[in-house]
Structure 1
Amino acid sequence: MRRLTFENARGESIVFYLSPLVIESLTGIGEIDADLQSEKAPYQDGDTYIDTLLQPRFIDLEGVITRTDLETIKFYRKHILRVCNPKLGLGKITLELDGDVKEIYGTLDGSPVFPERGREVWQKFMITWKCPNPYWRNPNQTSQPLKAYVGNFTLPFTLPFELGMSGSRTTLYNEGDIPAPIRIDIQGPVTNPQIINRTTGEWLKINRSIAADEVLHINTTPGKKRVEVYRGNEVYPALGYMDHDSDWITLELGKNEIEHIADAGDRESLVAVTWNSMYVGI
């Protein structure tokens, strides 16, 4: 099965799968261009490898509208143009392929193209998305508590995990192809909480007291990095409290030993780490 769903920034979605919007060709979902970084010294044979940087991903879809009457063809052309509007910016692409589901964010690289039908019975179309972040991600986020807690953990959203007995140090497993950014939620009371990835040596510390009715939220995702404090329905920016030597920590491939410490309150606070594994292709 090969089904692609695109949801634009307005929440409108379109599905390319079976009739009436059939996928004929889909490229760019696995292959991706890379830029090899290297340096060369005088009189050196060859060069010295430094790093490999992946380029933005371009996904090309060619399909057909499997209807023959003009009014229905016009309806679906208008629907494609409305949802796949390049002026709307980034939208979410969800691809279901052979039982695997991954998602990525992309924007239209120009308007959809509808070639002249000529003698063709069906209307063909072509759509190209540019994905600035080339990595696919697992749409199912993984959440794990780091500490036992008795009481109610109240947030402006619901985390998909069940609290259980754990320690202030635990092992998290990133099954993806690259290091994964994380979201951290800490409910007070706690003073100057710090999260340490013992596997990589990275650490992140917030120099602030978090009250019992507050939740500290940290997001290390590139482009979405933030530190906030939730109190009831109110949100307060807290990036200025982040220790200037801190790292925007991630989960390395495989096992990561994560620890939570604090100047005070680490026995009473609740810490949860959430992430989505990320992949080079699908």
Structure 2
Amino acid sequence: MKREITIRSLAGRGELTLRQGDAGGYWLGTVDWGQVPGQHQEYRHLNQVGSTIVDTIVGTRALSIVGWVLDGGTGDLRERCAFLNAFFSPVEDYILEYEGKKIQFRPDSSIQYPPEYRQNNEKVRKFLLQATCPFPLFSDRTDMAVAFDSTGKLFRFPTNFGQEAPLVMGSQNRAYTAETNNTGGFQTGITARLRFSGTVENPRIRNLTSGKYIGVNRAFHKGELLEISTLPGEKRMTLYPAQGEPENLIRYRDFGGEWIQLLPGRNLLALECANPDQRLSMAVTLFYTPLYLEVE
């Protein structure tokens, strides 16, 4: 049973929260996440028994939300219904958030109200929102961050002339590998931010678990920031110089590499460049979110 959901407009219309038992706001009825179909691509040999599945396409998700608008003694039922009518549009996109997860959708039509007087009158109005989630997977509301840094004990400061335990002075060292655990059920894209404190030629990020990498064949210099996204529908390579406008670097992409993804489970990542000593001049952080087929 869903007790509360929040819907946020990506067109800048604000957000809307529906709760069970909220007589003064928008009362949440039922939420149906629908089912995600899988379309299998098959082939058969002559006289083969059965078939061989070579690929599966995951389809879209149908979303349905039922709620109520109650008078509650405030006399603003019509105003709140007018807000619903203006908030949802079949030409705009929205984010639905539920218990730490989120999914994007677009309404199939405007808000629907039943014609029966018992469910649509001056005291109460039932409403229905039907929508389609073009990307049918849920993700976490906040991204996971993976930094190529480690904290090491570099030296000790003696105390009381060696009569007491020395004070350990910690410092942050640069690491060239990082490990993360993708807890979702699907491979997921990353957003990588590479900040340069010196000259670095042809930087790469390699997923040692899958053996694939993504790289840029270009020299970068102190103060520059490179952002790489391998997310579906958002693939890009953007340079943010110390001064000036952002620049699209897609033409410098290493076409021997791929738009790497994190596999479900453990992933070991590594930094590479033309001169390994130049890795010290890169501060790299990866961001990603696990993907889930269903939520409770």
TM-score normalised over the length of structure 2: 0.83
Are positions 1:176 and 2:187 aligned together?
A: no
SS at match of 2:78: helix
Q: Counterpart of 1:278? A: 291
Instruction: Verify: 1:231 aligned to 2:241, yes or no.
Output: yes
Q: Which amino acid aligns with 1:277?
A: P
Q: 1:219 aligns with which of 210, 219, 229?
A: 229
Note the 1:74-85 alignment, pairs <5 A. Answer: 74-85=78-89
Q: Within 5 A, what are the aligned runs for 1:1-282?
A: 2-11=3-12, 12-17=14-19, 18-19=22-23, 20-28=25-33, 31-67=35-71, 72-87=76-91, 89-96=92-99, 101-120=100-119, 121-147=123-149, 164-188=172-196, 189=198, 190-232=200-242, 234-264=245-275, 265-282=278-295
CA contact 1:144–1:274 (8 Å) conserved in 2? yes
Q: Is the 8 A contact 1:187 1:210 kept in 2?
A: no
Q: Which runs of 5+ in 1 are unaligned?
A: 150-162
CA deviation profile, 1:50-108 (whole Å, cap 9, x unmatched) = 23322111110011112267952221211111111112x22211113xxxx20011111
Q: Which shows bigger deviation, 38-47 or 261-270?
A: 38-47
SS in 2 for 1:92: strand
Give the structure 2 partner of residue 156 of structure 1: none
CA-CA distance at 1:164 after TM superposition: 4.3
Partners of 1:40 and 1:69 lie apart in 2 by 67
CA contact (8 A) 2:174 2:280 kept: no
Moved more, 191-200 or 46-55: 46-55
Q: Residue 166 of structure 2 corresponds to which residue in structure 1?
A: none
SS in 1 for 2:128: strand
**1:9-65: CA deviations, max 9, x gaps?**
222211111333112211116x32222222223322221122332211111001111
Return closer, same or farther for 1:77/1:242 CA change in 2, 3 Å cut-off. Answer: same
| AA of the residue aligned to 2:33 | G
Aligned length: 263
Distance 1:67 1:270 in 2: 56
Other structure's SS at 1:267 match? helix
Contact 1:117 1:123 in 2 (8 A): no
For residues 117 and 67 of structure 1, the distance between their equivalents in structure 2, rounded to whole angstroms, comes to 17
Displacement after TM superposition at 1:116 (Å): 2.0
Match of 1:75, SS state, is helix
The percent identity for this pair of structures is 21
After TM superposition, what 4+ stretches of structure 1 lie above 3 angstroms from structure 2? 68-71, 163-166
Displacement, 1:213? 1.0
Offset of residue 2 of structure 1: 2.2
Instruction: Give the counterpart letter for 1:131 in structure 2.
Output: C
Based on CA coordinates, which of the two structures has the bigger radius of gyration? 2
Q: In the alignment, is the contact (CA less than 8 A) between 2:11 and 2:93 conserved in 1?
A: no
What stretches of structure 2 of length at least 5 have no aligned partner? Answer: 152-170
TM-score (normalizing by structure 1): 0.87
Cα distance change on mapping 1:63 and 1:247 into 2, 3 Å = same
